[in-house]
Structure 1
Amino acid sequence: MTSFAESLLRLRNAFACGKSHSVEFRISQLQSLIRLLEENEATLLNVLDQDLHKSKFEAMIAEIGFVKNEAISAMNNIKSWVTVEFVEKTFVTKLDQCFIRKEPFGVALIIAAWSHPVQLLLTPLVGAIAAGNCVVLKPSEVSVNTAALLSKLIPQYLDKDCFAVYSGGPVETRKLLQYKFDYIFYTGNSAVGKVIMKAAAEHLTPVTLELGGKNPCYIDQSFNLESTAQRLVWGCFFNTGQCCISPDYVLCSKEVQEQLVPAIKQCLKKFYGEEPKESADYGRIINDHHFNRLQKLLNSGQVAIGGETDKQDRYIAPTVLVDVMESDAVMQQEVFGPILPIINVNSMEEAIAFINRHQKPLALYVYATNTKVVNEILEKTSSGGFCSNENMVQLTLNTLPFGGIGKSSTWCSDPYNRVGKAQTPAAACAPHSLIHTLSQIH
């Protein structure tokens, strides 16, 4: 770790000298990041295919294009984000200058997840650059090919005095966390999140933990069958279900289920053909560990659609489970795979009660043409994000803050932020600007 200690010292010196602070420098680094994506697009698509069998279309919209849009948005808004904000004064401070000035934290650590290995490493980086931080990047070792490529490319495009990449697995990450950082941004699971929060507490380091959870999807009697089936299939099996905001399970009546299952089956044929395994648009499970975990979950309830597996290819067919009980294994953990359990409820009130007796989700989805149903569920539940008659699209709008509540996402930062709410777009996805309130007497 001696070499890393030297790299960290180099980043600290660069930050102390103010190298990363100027708006011009921030914009130049964001431009370099866009060049990295554009000049290496084909290679990035190739490694994403190797790691996740990710289709070109999916990789472009959810990985490469996503990061580029964030970078462009940041460049367009940096000047307004850094502008000093003058505040309302009292009689006592009438002759004073009272303002809020936004400053970067310092040297931030970004630890990314494997499910979207480009997006989840580089999107937080966009916000960190926009806020004027220096950054240590830790790509996920699980998406091995993407991690190796990004570890090679980032030093070629970004300023080496301000940005560094550190590779390795859990052992190396624990060693990394022994060092003091000024901010830590982690995307992944709650077990690792606890390790990171404990390490951060040793240095009183502010942390963003972007975790996950089980995202409910309530389908009311008033739902539109065709659009619900299409949007549900897209959300559940996008990236082979390996997405933190995918619908995790469905709550609906038996009558709705009888209409929905055949519609999903028909929609799957439309999306992936008769044999999803042969479709260029259907991915694979990231590794054997997750394949084995998901295969065990197939024993919950009854398989209504799919269920086929191929361990050698790490293939699990798009699967729908019915007759699922709340106590079944598939309901005890985030699925994070192409398996959709359906639990029957007799009413909206029963669905609300079911949602509220579990951990608050990262996202909650409702399908209903009856606006009273949508509004009542919105009012009587709590979640990081909420969509009616849609799913996952909340992530695409960078003017919305992104985050969860409690175990689905823990935010520890300056007191002006409220559980991932009311943040600037840069802050919503990255180590954000520390806010100091300064008062100057005339």
Structure 2
Amino acid sequence: MNKIKNVFNLQKQYFNTHETLSYSFRMDALNKLRISIIKHADNLLEALDKDLGKHQHEAYMTEIGIVLKEISYMEKHLKKLMKRKRVKSPLTDFPSISFIMPHPYGTVLIISPWNYPVNLSLAPLVGAIAAGNTAIIKPSEFSVNTSKAIEELIKDAYEDKYVCVIQGDKEVTQELLENKFNYIFFTGSTNVGKIIMEKASKFLTPVSLELGGKSPVIVDKTANIEVSAKRIAFGKFLNSGQTCIAPDYLLVHEDIKDRLVNGLKKSIEEFYGDKPIDSEHYSTIINEKHFNRLSAYLKNGEIIYGGDISVTKRKIGPTLITPIDNNLPIMTEEIFGPLLPIVTFNDMKEVVDFINNRPNPLALYLFTEDKKIESKVLTECQFGGGCINDTVVHIASDYLPFGGVGESGMGHYHGQSSFKTFTHYKSILKKATWFDLKIRYAPFTKTKSNIIKKFLK
């Protein structure tokens, strides 16, 4: 616990030297992160395999590559992002100029989860560094091997006074939250997010909460069944469904259900073979607790396909299931695993009502070729972000802010939004002294009041 207080104080002191503010310092820091990631890439890939059974291709694509891409974006755009922005001044403030000036918050805390431990630790860090902050990273204690690899990577790149990794369980997180950080960035469950926000409120610390929820997939009659099935299977069973934006349940028009189910089966077998739990391309469940939780969900419905489990490998095969009751846990709790409940519909109004009567999802996916249906869903449903005719890939765009709404989170990041998240924008009005308008000063006369009324309409 002494280390936490010492590192926190070191970072506060270092930030107050103003060394992290310059463009050259930030660019150098970003470059150091890139070099260290590349140097430690093999260690990261090995750790991800040990923790989650991730194939190297998937791990690079969804973890390391995403972070390197984020660094490249920042390096390309940082100078522009750091510039003051001139804005108009009102006539009432003549003579003056006005501008908005970006400035870092200070010392920030990044708390990351176990499901994408590299991506969700280092992608926010890119934004924190680019914005000029110092940072403490608290990775998950569940992805123990990857957390250790991240710590080694960061130690190789930075001194503790600038960026530091602090490991430990929830008690360590609670101890960290007793310090007055200038910003907290949390990725994880909604329940823990509520605790983070409550703790942050003690110091009025601003927060970003990247949470989760039950992200629906809607497939209407006009959808391209073959492509839809492949893209849904990709998004759902990536990392064995342990993805915050994974399709959580499927709403399909009853006229095409059988065709879509057959397409999903075909895609699963193309990706992972006849027995996915034996495939090296198919990830493991993070730990026994989550394995048991997911296994219990299998009793919440009728299994259409899959349902295979391996206790020794800690794997559950891709599973398509018809829920017995929409009030059972499989339809009320975020699944965060390779089980896909399938519900049919006849009318798009039912779909909109079904989604809107539940907590706001982090993502929504719609497969359709009908522009009216597209417009209806996008306009009438509340959700964080998503895709039309695809799943999960919106998270990889540097040009799309990523974040939730309501129960699925608050705040955005990626690309420009990452810089903005870790930046406070100072609004400045600079007034000239060669002229001083007297009408604002007492004593207030009727003439002054009439002039003010004309200006302030």
The TM-score, its normalising length taken from structure 2, stands at 0.92
**Corresponding residue of 2:307:** 307
**Corresponding residue of 2:193:** 193
Answering whether residue 425 of structure 2 is matched by residue 435 of structure 1, we say: yes
The alpha-carbon deviation at position 347 of structure 1 amounts to: 1.2
SS at the partner of 2:13? helix
**Corresponding residue of 2:239:** 239
The alpha-carbon deviation at position 3 of structure 1 amounts to: 2.2
Tell which deviates more after alignment, 220-229 or 149-158: 149-158
Please show how residues 264-413 of structure 1 align to structure 2 within 5 Å. Answer: 264-411=264-411
Give the Cα separation in 2 of the matches to 1:170 and 1:30.
Answer: 30
SS at the partner of 2:93? coil
Residue type at the aligned position of 1:132:
G
Residue type at the aligned position of 2:56:
K
**Corresponding residue of 1:215:** 215
Give the Cα separation in 1 of the matches to 2:165 and 2:394.
Answer: 30
The alpha-carbon deviation at position 379 of structure 1 amounts to: 1.1
1:357-416 deviation line (CA, Å, top 9, x unaligned): 0111111111111121111111111111031111111111111111111110134xxxxx
Residue type at the aligned position of 1:31:
N
Q: Is the 8 A contact 1:126 1:426 kept in 2?
A: no
Q: Is the 8 A contact 1:128 1:426 kept in 2?
A: no
Q: Is the 8 A contact 1:111 1:185 kept in 2?
A: yes
Please show how residues 2-401 of structure 1 align to structure 2 within 5 Å. Answer: 2-401=2-401
Give the Cα separation in 1 of the matches to 2:138 and 2:396.
Answer: 24
Q: Is the 8 A contact 1:324 1:343 kept in 2?
A: no
Over 3 Å counting, the alpha-carbon distance change for 1:347 and 1:376 in structure 2 is: same
Identical aligned residues as a percent: 37
Give the Cα separation in 2 of the matches to 1:97 and 1:32.
Answer: 38
SS at the partner of 1:387? strand
SS at the partner of 2:218? strand
Give the Cα separation in 2 of the matches to 1:76 and 1:326.
Answer: 48
The alpha-carbon deviation at position 324 of structure 1 amounts to: 4.2
Residue type at the aligned position of 2:426:
H
Give the Cα separation in 2 of the matches to 1:336 and 1:158.
Answer: 34
Give the Cα separation in 1 of the matches to 2:361 and 2:244.
Answer: 10
Over 3 Å counting, the alpha-carbon distance change for 1:292 and 1:429 in structure 2 is: farther
Q: Is the 8 A contact 2:212 2:334 kept in 1?
A: yes
Over 3 Å counting, the alpha-carbon distance change for 1:45 and 1:429 in structure 2 is: farther
Over 3 Å counting, the alpha-carbon distance change for 1:424 and 1:410 in structure 2 is: closer
The alpha-carbon deviation at position 274 of structure 1 amounts to: 1.2
Residue among 415, 429, 433 paired with 1:425: 415
Q: Is the 8 A contact 2:304 2:319 kept in 1?
A: yes
SS at the partner of 1:101? strand
The alpha-carbon deviation at position 88 of structure 1 amounts to: 1.1
Q: How many residues align?
A: 432
**Corresponding residue of 1:415:** none
The alpha-carbon deviation at position 161 of structure 1 amounts to: 2.1
The alpha-carbon deviation at position 328 of structure 1 amounts to: 2.0
Q: Is the 8 A contact 1:52 1:286 kept in 2?
A: yes
Residue type at the aligned position of 1:165:
V
Q: Is the 8 A contact 2:217 2:366 kept in 1?
A: yes
Q: Is the 8 A contact 2:20 2:26 kept in 1?
A: yes
Over 3 Å counting, the alpha-carbon distance change for 1:231 and 1:429 in structure 2 is: farther
Q: Is the 8 A contact 1:309 1:315 kept in 2?
A: yes
Q: Is the 8 A contact 1:302 1:322 kept in 2?
A: yes
CA RMSD of aligned residues (A): 1.3
Residue type at the aligned position of 2:170:
P
Tell which deviates more after alignment, 114-123 or 370-379: 370-379
Over 3 Å counting, the alpha-carbon distance change for 1:113 and 1:174 in structure 2 is: same
The alpha-carbon deviation at position 253 of structure 1 amounts to: 2.8
SS at the partner of 1:20? helix
Q: Is the 8 A contact 1:185 1:430 kept in 2?
A: no
Residue type at the aligned position of 1:380:
E
Over 3 Å counting, the alpha-carbon distance change for 1:321 and 1:20 in structure 2 is: same
SS at the partner of 2:205? coil
Structure 1 ranges of 4+ moved more than 6 A: none
Over 3 Å counting, the alpha-carbon distance change for 1:61 and 1:143 in structure 2 is: same
Give the Cα separation in 2 of the matches to 1:430 and 1:89.
Answer: 23
Q: Is the 8 A contact 1:324 1:342 kept in 2?
A: no
SS at the partner of 2:282? coil
Give the Cα separation in 1 of the matches to 2:14 and 2:343.
Answer: 55
1:297-333 deviation line (CA, Å, top 9, x unaligned): 1111111111011122111000000254311220110
Larger of the two Rg values belongs to structure: 2
SS at the partner of 1:299? helix
Tell which deviates more after alignment, 196-205 or 423-432: 423-432
Residue type at the aligned position of 1:182:
N
